[in-house]
Amino acid sequence: MAAELASLVQRLEAAVGRLEVVSGPPGGASGSAGGAVAAFVEAYDDIIRGPVAQYVALSQQIGGDVQKHADMMKQAFSSQRQLLATASSSQKPSDSVLTALLQPVSKAIQQVQAFREQNRTSPLFNHLSAVSESVPALGWVAMAPKPGPYVKEMQDAAMFYTNRVLKDYKEKDKMHVDWVKAYVSIWTDLQNYIKQHHTTGLSWSKTVSNRNRNQNRFHPFMCRRHPSCLAVLRVRSPLPLWLRPTHKNPALRGPGAPVRTGPKPFSSATPRPAAPTRTLPPVLELEGKKWKVENQEGAQGLVISDTELKQVVYAFKCNQSTLQVKGKINSITIGKSSEPDSCKKMGLVFDDVVGIVEVINCRDVKVQVMGKVPTISINKTDGCHVYLSKDSVSCEVISAKSSEMNILVPDKDGEFVSNLQPVPVQHSILKTGVRRITSEQRSFLFRSSSRPSGMAGSSLPQQRRLLAKRSPASSPPDRLTPPTS
């Protein structure tokens, strides 16, 4: 039997030699050339060949810093394309491996943003800023379960600078206008691509590729490269190695093997300890025209004093903190639409805002106006108290998907009183002087200063019943504000 096995090994070595001559060395190009590209990788190639190529071509015509920036963006898209190709042929890896796979894209994003900061005196700074503000959208591969809205948010962040480019070059050079359209179309097409192929996050292969599955198995090419393989085949055995019966636990093949007595009784699983939350460093800095206030915990003395009219303030992940904004600025935004409970128990005090003050996805927030503000928007917020100054009583308060909202105005003595009913969960309220108008057809607001006795603290149906029972001799009730559409 040993002689037959040795003869078989010699024949196998001869066959392997002939196969190596015909097929070339192992691990050649056949692994990379074999297999079709996944559908979502081909769709991503269409974006690179379409709007990305058009944006790079127009950037080369403009030249200068814009061309250098475009080369960095091209490299960033190439890095992300390699990540998508890996995801199309591999199952989702562990967090440590995934972090290593994301490093090329992350470094490309940081390089694009650093180039803008190093060229703040460039005459094409608005072009560089538009790209730098929106390039984090390439991080959608790490966002779940809603990567599409994240890309839309980053695209909106660049709108301020793209509008400035259009304003400066609309009548001067049409090439810059086309550049803006090509660049914006990149993120528009990317949103449609994500919606079609990666709705809830980056899609990974459901099965392992044949190349990864067979890399640890026996292969004829391995025999001449690894002598240990031939040594295993030469072991004296009544049957070849690959035909021997095997068992995961050899002890179970003996005569004294234990016998199962039945299923074990159910026992509750031991709860796993909660993963420690990562604490990010607090941020209070001016980046371009944007004040960033992030990751503040228990900070009661946050002050932004050196402000300009074109600047905006973004506050995010601020808990039990107080922020004061002095001077006149463009807008203030607290919270983020993609993050629930972005800010908790936060206080905001500001002087003047020429645009809008937005409170998004927050809880227990207090906003006090010292000067003037035209519009206050409250979205997806539970608990918001707005203290208006005498100069801002005509501001418009817009609310949506929010609750526990109150608007307070100062009386003659300067004390804040609830001059309005609690803000409805829907639509908006406009207060002009002593008159309040709401777009909700079924809401009626009373003037709290002359409310009949017994109506304080009553609900709206109770107040109507009390008004109906009033005697004609008493003073007439306040007129209900007619509903408007």
Give the CATH number of the domain where residue 388 resides: 2.160.20.70
Question: Do residues 332 and 323 make contact, with C-beta atoms less than 8 angstroms apart?
Answer: no
> Is residue 166 located within the same domain as residue 312?
no
> Is residue 326 located within the same domain as residue 426?
yes
Residue where a domain stops, chosen among 431, 456, 472? 431
- Close Cβ partners of 448 (under 8 Å, ≥ 6 residues apart): 417, 418, 419, 420
The predicted pLDDT at position 42 comes to 92
The predicted pLDDT at position 429 comes to 52
The predicted pLDDT at position 2 comes to 63
> With the C-alpha atoms ordered 56, 59, 61, 64, is the resulting torsion angle positive or negative?
negative
Q: Per the domain annotation, does 328 fall within a domain?
A: yes
> Is residue 176 located within the same domain as residue 294?
no
Beta strands at 331-334 and 356-360: parallel, antiparallel or unpaired: parallel
Q: Per the domain annotation, does 321 fall within a domain?
A: yes
Q: Per the domain annotation, does 110 fall within a domain?
A: yes
pTM over 0.75: no
- Close Cβ partners of 134 (under 8 Å, ≥ 6 residues apart): 154, 155, 157, 158, 187
450 φ, ψ to 5°? -125, 35
Question: Do residues 430 and 441 make contact, with C-beta atoms less than 8 angstroms apart?
Answer: no
Entry field: residues in the chain = 485
- Close Cβ partners of 235 (under 8 Å, ≥ 6 residues apart): 241
> With the C-alpha atoms ordered 213, 215, 220, 223, is the resulting torsion angle positive or negative?
negative
Q: How confident is the model at residue 116 (pLDDT cuts 50, 70, 90)?
A: very high
Q: In the predicted model, is pLDDT for residue 410 greater than 50? A: yes
Count CA atoms within 13 Å of residue 352 on its CB side. Answer: 10
Residues 209-232, buried b or exposed e (16+ Cβ, 10 A)?
A: beeeeeeeeeeeeebeeeeeeeee
> With the C-alpha atoms ordered 469, 472, 474, 480, is the resulting torsion angle positive or negative?
positive
Q: Per the domain annotation, does 242 fall within a domain?
A: no
Question: Do residues 332 and 325 make contact, with C-beta atoms less than 8 angstroms apart?
Answer: yes
Q: In the predicted model, is pLDDT for residue 233 greater than 50? A: no
Q: In the predicted model, is pLDDT for residue 454 greater than 50? A: no
Q: Per the domain annotation, does 223 fall within a domain?
A: no
> Is residue 185 located within the same domain as residue 305?
no
Question: Do residues 367 and 346 make contact, with C-beta atoms less than 8 angstroms apart?
Answer: no
Question: Do residues 131 and 73 make contact, with C-beta atoms less than 8 angstroms apart?
Answer: yes
- Close Cβ partners of 362 (under 8 Å, ≥ 6 residues apart): 334, 335, 341, 342, 343, 344, 346, 381, 384
CA gap 444, 440 in Å, rounded:
9
Q: Per the domain annotation, does 311 fall within a domain?
A: yes
Q: How confident is the model at residue 215 (pLDDT cuts 50, 70, 90)?
A: very low
> Is residue 65 located within the same domain as residue 182?
yes
Rounded to an integer, the average pLDDT of 218-239 is 46
Q: Which 8-state DSSP code applies to residue 146?
A: -
Count of structural domains within the chain: 2
The predicted pLDDT at position 462 comes to 55
Rounded to an integer, the average pLDDT of 332-342 is 86
Q: How confident is the model at residue 185 (pLDDT cuts 50, 70, 90)?
A: very high
Q: Per the domain annotation, does 470 fall within a domain?
A: no
The domain that holds 82 is classified in CATH as 1.25.40.330
32: exposed, middle or buried (C-beta count within 10 Å: 0-12, 13-18, 19+)? exposed
Give the N- to C-terminal CA distance of the chain in Å, as an integer: 97
Residue where a domain stops, chosen among 400, 431, 462? 431
Mean pLDDT, the chain, rounded, equals 76
Q: Which 8-state DSSP code applies to residue 421?
A: P
> Is residue 55 located within the same domain as residue 193?
yes
Higher pLDDT, 466 or 10: 10
Residue where a domain stops, chosen among 382, 397, 431? 431
Question: Of 344, 401, 395, whose CA–CA distance to 368 is shortest?
Answer: 395
Among residues of the chain, what percentage have pLDDT more than 70? 65
Rounded to an integer, the average pLDDT of 211-216 is 45
CA gap 282, 284 in Å, rounded:
7
The SS3 call for residue 304 is: strand
The predicted pLDDT at position 360 comes to 93
Rounded to an integer, the average pLDDT of 382-391 is 91
The SS3 call for residue 350 is: strand
Residues 154-184, buried b or exposed e (16+ Cβ, 10 A)?
A: bbebbebbbebbeeebeeeeeebbbbbebbb
The predicted pLDDT at position 442 comes to 35
> Is residue 295 located within the same domain as residue 149?
no
Q: How many helices (H) and strands (E) does the chain have?
A: 14, 17
Parent domain of 422 = 283-431
Most confident listed range (80-94, 218-232, 460-474): 80-94
| Among the ranges given (113-122, 201-210, 237-246, 398-407), the one the predictor scored with the smallest mean pLDDT | 237-246
Higher pLDDT, 347 or 205: 347
Q: Per the domain annotation, does 43 fall within a domain?
A: yes
CA gap 327, 199 in Å, rounded:
43
The predicted pLDDT at position 413 comes to 77
For residue 430, the surrounding DSSP H or E stretch is strand 428-432
The predicted pLDDT at position 378 comes to 92
The predicted pLDDT at position 386 comes to 92
